[in-house]
Structure 1
Amino acid sequence: MQKLTRIVTLSVALLMISGCNYFSVYKRDLPQGNLVNKGMVEQLQPGMSRQQVVNLMGSPLLEAPFDANEWDYVYRLDKAYGDVEQRRITLTFQGDRLAGIDSEGDISGDIRLPDDQGVGPSVEGTSDERESPIDNVTPDRP
């Protein structure tokens, strides 16, 4: 009987712990697309050539498949523990010249990205200054 009581108690405890979200999975902010800010959009002028637009904004994320005269610059920031922020700029061309600029989302504010966008987690005991393997070599003496 004691064995059955222990098993039931352990089962109930595991069931209660599994429902808790205290030990959750680590999440990161996920930026995707072309980073578009207010300064870039303000510099766009009707009549600019496609090359001038590429120099200013970069390559478009999307070109309309049925209309090569429409470029889309989309930026989406999926915050790990918050909302999703999305911006979209649609540029319309007539021939080789910029004709129209449409925007969606709040372009007025800048998006602040975290500074620690390195690859992988930081390892304790390491520094940013890396020693060159050549510095550790002692010259061979005959």
Structure 2
Amino acid sequence: MQNLKLTLTGLTFLGLATLAGCSFPGVYKIDIQQGNVVTQDMIDQLRPGMTRRQVRFIMGSPLIVDTFHANRWDYLYSIQPGGGQRQQERVSLVFDNNDQLVGLSGDFMPGTSREQEIMGSPADSTSPASTMPEQPAQPQQQAPQDEPAKPGSTEEELQREIDSIRTEPVPTPTPIDTSSD
């Protein structure tokens, strides 16, 4: 009788330990996100000559500020959907000695949206990948299309909406007057 109780207790613990390591189908697994969320809209707002404060306002605090490269900020973002492959994106911003933005490199480029990459629109191949455009205020030239959109089609409506979008410049904050009268 005593041996039967010990055997059942041992088998119960063995069974629970075995089940603890298994993953059952249909069990919810959480998405694991780490780092700074960076969007193409954030990158499109960056302009050469912006101060560190302005960049921090748009992008948030950098994940990595390297002590050996004080003029470089690194933004890293990774996500692992529940049970899926881990995906990672990286953006590095470079400042000059006057604390002004001079370039960026990484997975996001100015003026190249994820939609353009998916649809296969070519990016501006004349600018190097690790620098920012010199004159961001000018509209980008569109690549010639093989066939124009048919009048009244969804493609034409979307193109009309895209063409009507106007970007807004990032407001420069005015310094607070700390002098007391």
Q: Secondary structure at the match of 1:102?
A: strand
60 and 17 in structure 1: CA distance in 2 versus 1, 3 angstrom threshold: closer
Aligned residue number for residue 102 of structure 2: 99
Q: CA RMSD in A?
A: 3.2
TM-score, normalising length from structure 1?
0.57
Tell me by how many angstroms 1:34 deviates: 0.6
Task: Report how many residues are paired.
Answer: 106
Checking the alignment, whether the CA contact within 8 Å between 2:65 and 2:72 is kept in structure 1 is yes
Aligned residue number for residue 117 of structure 1: none
Structure 1: tracts of 5 or more residues without a match = 1-14, 110-142
Checking the alignment, whether the CA contact within 8 Å between 1:60 and 1:72 is kept in structure 2 is yes
- Higher strand fraction: Structure 1 or Structure 2? 1
Can you list the C-alpha shifts for 1:5-49, whole angstroms capped at 9, x where unaligned? xxxxxxxxxx99987896447531111111001110111111111
Q: How does 1:1-142 map to 2 (within 5 A)?
A: 23-24=23-24, 27-95=29-97, 96-104=99-107, 108=114
Please give the alpha-carbon distance, in whole angstroms, between the structure 1 residues aligned to 2:80 and 2:17.
27
Structure 2: tracts of 5 or more residues without a match = 1-13, 116-181
Which structure 1 residue ranges, 4+ long, deviate > 3 Å from structure 2? 15-26
Please give the alpha-carbon distance, in whole angstroms, between the structure 1 residues aligned to 2:73 and 2:48.
14
Greater RCO, CA 8 A, separation 6+: 1
- Higher helix fraction: Structure 1 or Structure 2? 2
TM-score, normalising length from structure 2?
0.46
Checking the alignment, whether the CA contact within 8 Å between 2:40 and 2:108 is kept in structure 1 is no
Aligned residue number for residue 160 of structure 2: none
Q: Secondary structure at the match of 2:43?
A: helix
Checking the alignment, whether the CA contact within 8 Å between 2:48 and 2:102 is kept in structure 1 is yes
